[in-house]
Amino acid sequence: MRLKLVRDNTSIDFFAKARIWLGISLLMMVVALGSFLIQGLNYGIDFQGGTSIRTQSEVVVDVAAYREALVPLELGDVSITEVFDPSFEADQNVAMVRIQAQAGEESVTNETITAVQDALRGVSPNITFPSVESVGPKVSGELIQTAFIAVALAVVAILLYIWMRFEWQFAVGAVLALTHDVALTIGIFSELQIKFDLAIIAALLTIVGYSINDTVIVFDRVRENLRKYKKLPLKDVLNKSINETLSRTLMTSVTTMLALLALFILGGDVIRGFVFAMMWGVLIGTYSSIFVASAALLVLGVKRDWSKPDSTAGNQFSNVDA
In order, the DSSP letters of 121-172 are HHH-TT-EEEEEEEE-HHHHHHHHHHHHHHHHHHHHHHHHHHHHHS-HHHHH
The pLDDT assigned to 31 comes to 92
Q: Are 185 and 209 in contact (CB under 8 A)?
A: no
The pLDDT assigned to 34 comes to 92
pTM attached to this predicted model: 0.71
Instruction: Please list, in sequence order, all residues whose beta carbon lies within 8 angstroms of the beta carbon of residue 208, skipping any fewer than 6 positions away.
Output: 151, 154, 155, 158, 178, 181, 182
- For residue 107, name the pLDDT band (cuts at 50, 70, 90): low
Query: Per-residue pLDDT for 41 more than 50?
Result: yes
Which stretch, 5-14, 79-88, 197-206, has highest mean pLDDT? 197-206
Phi then psi for residue 50, to 5 deg, are 140, -155
The pLDDT assigned to 258 comes to 92
- For residue 188, name the pLDDT band (cuts at 50, 70, 90): very high
Could you give the CA distance from residue 139 to residue 141 in angstroms, rounded to a whole number? 5
- For residue 77, name the pLDDT band (cuts at 50, 70, 90): low
Q: For residue 79, give the CATH number of its domain.
A: 3.30.70.3220
Percent of the chain with pLDDT over 70: 84
Do 131 and 147 fall within a single domain?
no
Q: Are 261 and 313 in contact (CB under 8 A)?
A: no
Q: Which domain holds residue 149?
A: 18-43+139-300
Query: Per-residue pLDDT for 306 more than 70?
Result: no
Per-residue pLDDT, averaged over 166-188, amounts to: 86
Do 125 and 172 fall within a single domain?
no
Among 90, 120, 135, the domain-final residue is 135
Cα–Cα nearest to 236, from 249, 226, 246:
226
The pLDDT assigned to 139 comes to 61
Query: Per-residue pLDDT for 321 more than 60?
Result: no
Domains held by the chain: number: 2
85-94, 151-160, 304-313: the lowest-pLDDT one? 304-313
The pLDDT assigned to 106 comes to 58
Q: For residue 229, give the CATH number of its domain.
A: 1.20.1640.10
Among 111, 135, 159, the domain-final residue is 135
Do 192 and 295 fall within a single domain?
yes
Query: Per-residue pLDDT for 4 more than 70?
Result: no
- For residue 315, name the pLDDT band (cuts at 50, 70, 90): very low
Query: Per-residue pLDDT for 284 more than 60?
Result: yes
Q: What is the mean pLDDT of the chain?
A: 80
Cα–Cα nearest to 105, from 72, 138, 74:
138
First-last CA distance in the chain = 11
